[in-house]
Structure 1
Amino acid sequence: MKILFFIESLGPGGKERRLVELIKNLSKNSKYIMEIVLTNNTLHYKEILDCNVKVHCIIRKRFKKDPRLFYKFYKIAKKFKPDVIHVWGNLVAIYAIPAKVLLNIPLINNQIANVPNHKSNSLMGPRTSFKYSDLILANSFAGMEAYGAPQEKSKVIYNGFDFNRINKLEDSLEVKKRLNITTDKIVVMVASYSANKDYKTYIEVAKEVLKSRNDVTFVAVGGGNNEIYKKDISGFEDRIMLLGRHANVENIMNTADIGVLCTYTEGISNALLEFMALGKPVVITGGGGCVELVEHGQNGYLFEASDKENLSAAIHNLLKEPKLMMRQGERSKQIIKEKFSIDKMMESYADVYREFEN
């Protein structure tokens, strides 16, 4: 079966990682012949080069809606003659429409990876790409609903976590030493410093907890501009660490006693998947797809966005109850194995591709 994947880049994002994991696993099966098209040459996940997959790069120029890409993608599809086009994003879904229509190739649309708080009515928006999609895939039911995807041709496939990624982690004591962390307890949030992540709440709760405890360090890890939050941690610089992006962030996450995510809108968070796979209790503010990951009171706690009071109380409670942290962490790992394993994800995609076999 020939599959043509289309995504803007393979930069360091959750959607990109999911596609790379999918291709890595499919490449083990000689049944699949794959090519991938990118619209820029960012290649964070270089392991794609070991997958025997031809990589095309059709550079999108400065203006976002570069019309030349319609024809460039069409030419690649016409030459490759795929059984299915599998797109990962709304813009690339739009660019794939002429190839889908003119060459009569089924289009799988895998763009739903978050939970937006508004719907787009643009001609270049999801409604247009959904119209031409034969199947729409989401990584959460919350995302599918928020995007207004037509139920009759939509399906949820959860992100899959590969436990092999955490087989050879750096020793936690060495990580703490490298980061100059001297406290016994560590709370970690992994998220980009972007508008839809609520670092204000995380920092305010950290300061509140630190008023009554001196044995905990709060760590934030992510790409983006963290300088805008430096003034907010004034006086707490030794206990609130705002780190940038780290290549092997799992090493830092493994040192955590508690994983936190403060967000305004979220699909299925890869950071939460990793915290849970590492056996950590998780505490979240913000709904969306998180409710499909967290069993409130069993493997962590889920509160409304910006709920500082309950977030602070939950962290306090977990820090003073080591047995509760351990019990909830064990349940976290169990949930990943039951619902979010890489094997389950692969089985679900294999089922989808079988629907389009000639």
Structure 2
Amino acid sequence: MKVIFLIDNLRKGGKERRMLELVKELSKIDNIDFEIVIFKNQIEYKIVQELDLKVHIIKRKPKYSPNSFFKLYAICKQFNPDIIHSWSTMCTIFAIPTAQLLNIKLVNGNIAKAPLNFNILNIDFALAQFSFIFSDIVIGNSSAGLKSYKAPVSKSIAIKNGFDFKRLKNLKDPLYIRKKYNITTDFVVAKVAAFADRKDYATYIKAAQLVLSARNDVTFLAIGNGPNLEKTRNSISNKTLNNVIFTGAIQDIESLVSIIDVGILSTNNSVHGEGISNSILEYMALSKPVIATKGGGTDEIVVDQHTGYLIPSKSPQIMANKIHKVLDNPKLSKKMGFKGKERIEQLFNLDHMTDTYLSVYNKLLQNT
């Protein structure tokens, strides 16, 4: 079996990590050969070099130049793949002519979020609907995402993200991590997300300041980069500034998450609906209770009042109350963390994800 993986770039991001984790597992199987095509020379994962992956770079200059179609066609003509597995709507659209001309099965894996109130007037929705017509199968990482995009039921499947527990083998010493980030408080709360409108850092910061107005034994970590970083940093009052730490993007996310007490994911549901969040997977795999905005794929990971709490969008006071509750009840926190890890081990493990993708590939080829 030969597969071309088609993705916009290999920057730090959820779908990029998910694809590379799948690629890593497929590289262990003898009868599978694959190559990767990206449209921007942005590679931020060491695994690409470690596995010596074959990566083609097609630069889209100008952005809608037909040269991109011709270059992809030439790559596929030479490699002769059985399957093109695309990881975004635009990548799928670029793949359609080649898939049709060379009779290659097209796997459309573009659904990684679950927007609310999506309709044909939205360009992303319209393009996705067009791409579904020419796709042999449509994959979303959440059932909520498939429903939101109104993907055709007859050729759609949800394959949940799989967490690789090998990532937890070489965690750094907690004392070292605390010293590195100058954490001196008893408790640590963290949010791992891009500083973008869709991730609603405003609610997290407001909740942090509400908590810190009542106690000073908590450090709040804001982990990530993005266009709203400085705006978010400037929104913090001087009274609580010392208890909020902006780490920027970091490589060893697992070691940092290992020392926290609560993991947060607040989402702006008016502009974005979560698919399956890698941040939540990381929190739960490391036995941390989760407080997250309810809706979308998040409801498929977090079990309310069992592995954490699902709260309404833009509700800083409710978030602050739940943070207090978890920090002040160590038995509850430990129980939620244990149940969360158990859930990831059973339902969101990497072997299950890989096996499901393989099953999809094999069924497609059997129907050729």
Same fold (TM > 0.5): yes
Amino acid at match of 2:3: I
SS at match of 2:249: coil
Identify the residue that residue 251 of structure 1 maps to in structure 2: 255
Could you tell me which residue of structure 1 aligns to residue 195 of structure 2? 193
1:323 aligns with 2:331: yes
Q: In structure 2, what residue type is equivalent to 1:186?
A: V
Structure 2 CA distance, aligned partners of 1:323 and 1:167?
A: 26
C-alpha contact 1:23 1:51 (8 A) present in aligned 2: no
Partner Cα distance (1:205, 1:64) in 2: 41
Q: Does 1:238 align with 2:246?
A: no
- 8 Å CA contact 2:210–2:317 kept in 1: the answer is no
Contact 1:119/1:146 (<8 A) preserved: no
The amino acid across from 2:274 in the alignment is E
What residue identity is the alignment partner of 2:29?
Answer: N
Equivalent residue, structure 1, for 2:314:
306
Residue matched to 1:92: 91
Determine the C-alpha separation between the residues in 2 that align with 1:65 and 1:266. Answer: 29
Q: Is 1:267 aligned to residue 275 of structure 2?
A: yes
Gaps in structure 1 of 5+ consecutive residues? none
2:325 counterpart SS class: helix
Name the structure 2 match of 1:112: 111
Percent identical among aligned pairs is 42
Give the match for residue 212 of structure 1.
Answer: 214
In 2, distance between residues paired with 1:65 and 1:255? 46
Q: Which amino acid aligns with 1:305?
A: S
Letter in 1 for 2:288: K
Alpha-carbon distance in structure 1 between the residues aligned to 2:312 and 2:143:
18
Amino acid in structure 2 at the alignment position of 1:211: S
Q: Look up the equivalent residue of 2:257 and give its one-letter code.
A: M
Other structure's SS at 1:238 match = helix
CA shift for structure 1 position 350:
1.2
Return the TM-score normalized by structure 1: 0.97
Q: Deviations over 1:64-119 (max 9, x none)?
A: 33322111111111111111111010111010010011111110001101112334
TM-score, with length taken from structure 2: 0.94
| Structure 2 residue identity aligned to 1:253 | V
Helix, strand or coil: the match of 1:126? helix
Q: Distance in 2 between matches of 1:120 and 1:84?
A: 29
Partner in structure 2 of residue 158 of structure 1: 160
Q: Give 5+ residue unaligned stretches, structure 2.
A: none
Give distance in 2, aligned partners of 1:66 and 1:228. Answer: 36
SS state at 1:357 partner: helix
Tell whether the 8 Å contact from 1:112 to 1:138 is kept in structure 2 after alignment. yes
Secondary structure of the 1:187 match is strand
RMSD over aligned Cα atoms: 1.4
